[in-house]
Amino acid sequence: MTTSTDPTPPNPEDLICAKCDTPLRIGKVLASYMGQTFPVDLPLCPTCGFVYVSEDLAEGRMLKVEQALEDK
Amino acid sequence: MDSDHVRTLEARCVEEHPPACQNACPLHVDARGMLGKIGTGDVAGAFALYARVVPFPAIIGHICDHPCETVCRRGEAGGPVRIAAVERTLVEEAYPSPRPTARRQTKPRRIAIVGAGLSGLTAAADLARKGHRVTVFEADAHPLERLRHDYPEDRLPPSAIAVDLGALDSLGVVIQCRTRITGGSGPRGLETLIDTHDAVVLALGPGVAQDFAPTIHLADNGRIAIDSQSRATSHPKVFGGGFHGALGENYSPIGSVRDGRRAATSIDRFLQGASLTATDAREEAEGSCLYVNITSHAPVPPTEPSNPKAGYTLDEAMAEADRCFPCHCLECTKACAFLSHYRTYPKRAVREIHNNLSIIMGNRKANRMIDSCTLCGLCETVCPTDLAMGDVCLQARQEMVASGHMPASHHDFALRDMADSRSERSAFARHQPGFDQSTLVFFPGCQLAASSPGHVERLYAHLRDRMKGGIGLMVDCCGAPAHWAGQTDLHGEVRAHLHRTWTSLGEPEIVTACASCLSMFRAHMPEIPVRSLWPLLTEIGWPKGAGQGSAGKTLAIHDPCVGRHETEVQRAVRTLARGFDVTLEEISSPELTTCCGFGGLVSFANPEVANAIVDQRAAERSEDYLTYCAMCRDNFARRGKRATHLLDLAFPPTDGSDPAARPDPGFSGRRDSRTRLRIHLLRDIWEEDMTDPEPAWTVIIPDAIRAEMERKLILVDEVTAVIAAAETSGQKIKDAKTGHVIATLRTGPVTTWVEYENTAEGALVHRAYGHRMTVEVPS
């Protein structure tokens, strides 16, 4: 579900790190919760390492993993 | 929660006790299940349930003396379900000409049965199914001779006897008719049978048995002395069948079957060298413990068959089966949206909770269920044995917190909100200006302060006006969220803080406007004298002019769940409302009130259940609701139910707006109100130097986004902080296509993301979401 008045979520290919003026690229990232760490590929700024997490990811797969880890 | 405690709790839930019909049936036929299947047209399924325990379904289906009907609870509402008549239709409709097969026994034993009546043939069938070699000796010309004589053909058709004897034949049972067994050691003597067989059943019927006296003991009446439970006789290899129908006894076909079955069960145990007397299902049934709320069922008379001689048609049998309630307790499940959501009842839920707490490795699947109970106390109020699921869930939460297994996301937001309400942004305590002591201290409760701060100001002014000796003010949190979350240590900290504050005010009596605060003080801080505001208001009255514009309203009154037993408060609130010429309707009795979904922090751990709870309550009456708990009012408002707080009646909005339409302020609104209330009061009453907080950034949030943020528990302050940080640091993402900005900030355990657009008026928010995981580029 989106919270936006504009229902179209951002396309990662259109995203630019404002600080470095660099388009985001898919890169290796470590996602961690409750002492568990998982390698994932996410859009990030190749210069400063700023990682983008989309709403779909945060409220979909990421939420499921969080809940699964909390119930371990 | 140790195993003994769990067993004690489980034993108090009666839902799994058998219904009265099953309890009274000598074979414990699941009549409730059977009638349920017939009622839905599942005739084959119903027959399967019946035939699973009844050895001769065609015969018993026609002649059962149905002790079940005597105890049928439908009898108290229109007349007992005619179970026997339904069974007759069932066997006539569904008898599948069964060909039962015997189990393979590696060492089959030889069993002799004397007497081919119902009792002897039941023992024969049961033992043959277990794979033993069974021979039945019958003096008469046919097996079941008595049934052929005692029942006319229209009651017991010969075809029914034939089909059941056919099934017995297919089990390999040999029946030798015209073979009378005598006493002694002749070729057909009992002693010879005993010598040549592994066990013997004497299923002789009602008569005396003098012939066998030298071999086995007789009772005073001349019958074989038989233990009624185990059917054992004085000879270890000999067991007795039934002998109903003489010496003043009523003949019971189903009783005969039971006695034959008991003899067979004992023989099986005897052959395995097991105890005959160990507790088992053969124990005499006592009355059923299953509670059934008969008053909830309207009386319905029995279905009359169109042709009484032929019995019910299938349609008539289905109609009669539908008269079965069926018997269940489920009083709590029917009353509680949480238990009905999980389709459970305490016995099952307690076991599930215990198992959940005991898991060493693997998933704890009941965590969310445990956190979905509002702890409201309704279940124990309606339970025939006062079993409190709330106590079980709360104890489970405390254990989960103690062992580190409480999912952080369930209560984290509520606990942060509690921390805010206790922080210097919101909380304070003062004596009345001009006094250095307080005879009373007003404790409005953090949610009233958050929902309608203006009412707190009006009430405090009124109390100062009417009460003498200095009325202090204590704006704080009672610690209910910590308690409900199972956070024992945190709750202890809150109590210690409240105690210190109370002591610093000179240990005055506390007057609270909040039902939760009242119950928390009473239960957890008994050293602090506390009373409810509402009875006090009936004594001192309202300020002049209060309640204008309320006359003539009709409202349905909703009592807060924590105050279900506070009869003095309930009376006072009704008196106060009627004093404004309001007509009150009761939704339920105050004792049976439900939670608004906030109790037990369910709206945080399981919003779906919380919404179901408040929606269920909201639908009970069409009138606007009258509450005297701020959270109840706001939760009704949040779900679209028009609701008015008693203080809305007393102090209606000065702008003439409709108080029942006042929207839920939401969590951001509540925090903001608490902060502003503290500033206003300290500045206006205590003349302290206070400055209004400056927003960190100008942020515009459309209503739809605000509602979604509320659902996702994202605060306006958090969104503002994200934007302020991004605009200050420049660390943000731009969407080249839309021109939107995307920024993030980790605050506490949550990372918040905001998509926004910088406009001339401020940052216009398009999207907000969050997650608890952290993400970082590997170093």
Query: Does residue A3 fall inside a structural domain?
Result: no
Over range B43-51, report the average pLDDT: 93
For B110-271, CATH number? 3.50.50.60
CB contact at 8 A, B49 and B421? no
CB B314 within 8 A of CB B89: yes
Torsion, Cα B344 B350 B352 B358, to 10 degrees, reads 170
* Residues A6-48 pLDDT 10s: 568 999 999 999 999 999 999 999 999 999 999 999 999 999 9
Dmax over CA atoms of chain A, in Å, equals 42
Kindly determine whether residue A14 and residue B737, on different chains, have CB atoms separated by under 8 Å. Answer: yes
Q: B414 vs chain A: nearest CA distance in angstroms? A: 17
| In a domain? residue A59 | yes
Mean pLDDT calculated for residue range B315-322: 97
Residue B253, pLDDT score? 93
Listed by number, the residues of chain A in 16-55 with a beta carbon closer than 8 Å to a beta carbon of chain B are: 16-19, 24, 27-34, 39-40, 42, 44-45, 48-53, 55
Residue B440: strand pairing partners: B471, B509
Same fold, B20-96+291-321 and B110-271: no
The SS3 assignment for B744 reads: strand
Looking at the structure of chain A, the number of domains it has is 1
Q: What percent of chain B lies above the pLDDT cut of 90?
A: 85
Contact A70 B734 (CB under 8 A): no
Chain A closest CA to B735's CA: distance in Å? 5
CB contact under 8 A, A3 and B742: no
The answer to whether residue A24 is domain-embedded is yes
Q: Do B409 and A66 touch (CB under 8 A)?
A: yes
How much is the pLDDT for A1?
A: 41
Which phi and psi angles does B507 have, rounded to 5°?
A: 55, 50
Identify the three-state secondary structure at position B200: strand
CB contact under 8 A, A30 and B775: yes
Residue numbers in B near A15 (CB within 8 A): 733-736, 742
Per-residue 3-state assignment (H helix, E strand, C coil) for B6-55 = HHHHHHHCCCCCCCHHHHHCCCCCCHHHHHHHHHCCCHHHHHHHHHHHCC
What burial letters (b/e) apply to B644-665, b meaning 16+ CB within 10 Å?
Answer: bbbbbbbbbeeeeeebbebebb
- The verdict on residue A1 lying in a domain is no
DSSP letters along B219-254, please? Answer: -TTSSBP--TTT-B-SSTTEEE----SSTTPPP-HH
Q: Is the CB of A3 inside 8 Å of chain B's CB atoms?
A: yes
Q: Closest-CA residue in chain A for B765?
A: A4
Per DSSP, the three-state class of B618 is helix
Longest dimension (CA), chain B: 117
- Check: CB of residue B279 under 8 Å from CB of residue B241: no
Share of chain B above pLDDT 70, in %: 97
**Tens digit of pLDDT for each residue in B219-262?**
888 888 888 888 999 999 999 987 665 566 778 999 999 999 99
Among A3, A14, A24, select the one facing B767 at the smallest CB separation.
A3
pLDDT at B746 over 60: yes
Strand ranges inside B483-642, DSSP E? 509-512, 530-532, 554-557, 583-586, 624-627
Architecture of the domain spanning B20-96+291-321: Orthogonal Bundle (1.10)
Judge if pTM exceeds 0.90: no
CB contact under 8 A, A62 and B742: no
User: Is it the case that residue B496 has pLDDT exceeding 90?
Assistant: yes
Which among B404, B633, B424 is positioned nearest to B515, based on CA atoms? B633
- State in Å, rounded, how far the first CA of chain B is from the last one: 45
Residue of B nearest to A34 (CA): B773
Neighbours of B44 (CB within 10 A): 12
Does A41 map to a domain?
Answer: yes
Are B709 and A3 in contact (CB < 8 Å)?
yes
Residue A5 lies in a domain: no
DSSP H helix total and E strand total for chain B: 34, 20
Return the domain boundaries, chain B. 20-96+291-321, 110-271, 331-406, 417-541+668-674, 554-662, 699-771
What pLDDT score does B277 carry? 78
Residues in B closer than 8 angstroms to A40, CB to CB, are 775
Tens of pLDDT, residues B172-197? 999 999 999 998 888 899 999 999 99
Q: Do B735 and A50 touch (CB under 8 A)?
A: no
Query: Does residue B504 surpass a pLDDT of 50?
Result: yes
Q: Tell me whether residues A19 and B367 touch, CB distance under 8 A.
A: no
Q: Distance of alpha carbon B11 from its chain centroid, rounded?
A: 14
Is residue B2's pLDDT more than 80?
yes
The CATH number covering residue A42 comes to: 3.10.20
pLDDT in tens, B551-568: 999 999 999 999 999 999
Q: Alpha carbon B388 to chain centroid distance? A: 10
Taking contacts as CB-CB distances below 8 angstroms, the residues of chain B near A51 are: 775-777
State the pLDDT confidence band at A2, using cuts at 50, 70 and 90: very low
A68 to chain B: closest CA residue:
B363
Question: What is the DSSP secondary structure assignment for residue B157, as one 8-state letter?
Answer: -
Tell me the one-letter amino acid at B759: T
Rounded CA-CA distance B649/B713 in Å is: 30
CB contact under 8 A, B777 and A28: yes
**What is the residue range of A48's domain?**
12-70
- If we measure between CA atoms, which residue out of B56, B541, B92 comes closest to residue B310? B92
The answer to whether position A17 is within a domain reads yes
- Cβ pair A71:B367 closer than 8 A: yes
Evaluate whether residue A6 is within a structural domain.
no
Tokens linked to B365: 């699947």
Looking at the predicted structure, is the pLDDT value of residue B448 above 70? yes
pLDDT interval class at B97 (50, 70, 90) = low
Mean pLDDT computed over B681-697: 90
How far, in Å, are B55, B130, B172, B322 from residue B269 at the CA level?
20, 12, 21, 40
Residue whose C-alpha is closest to residue B615's, from B588, B589, B635: B635
Query: Which position has the token pair 């528990």?
Result: B713
What's residue A3's pLDDT?
A: 45
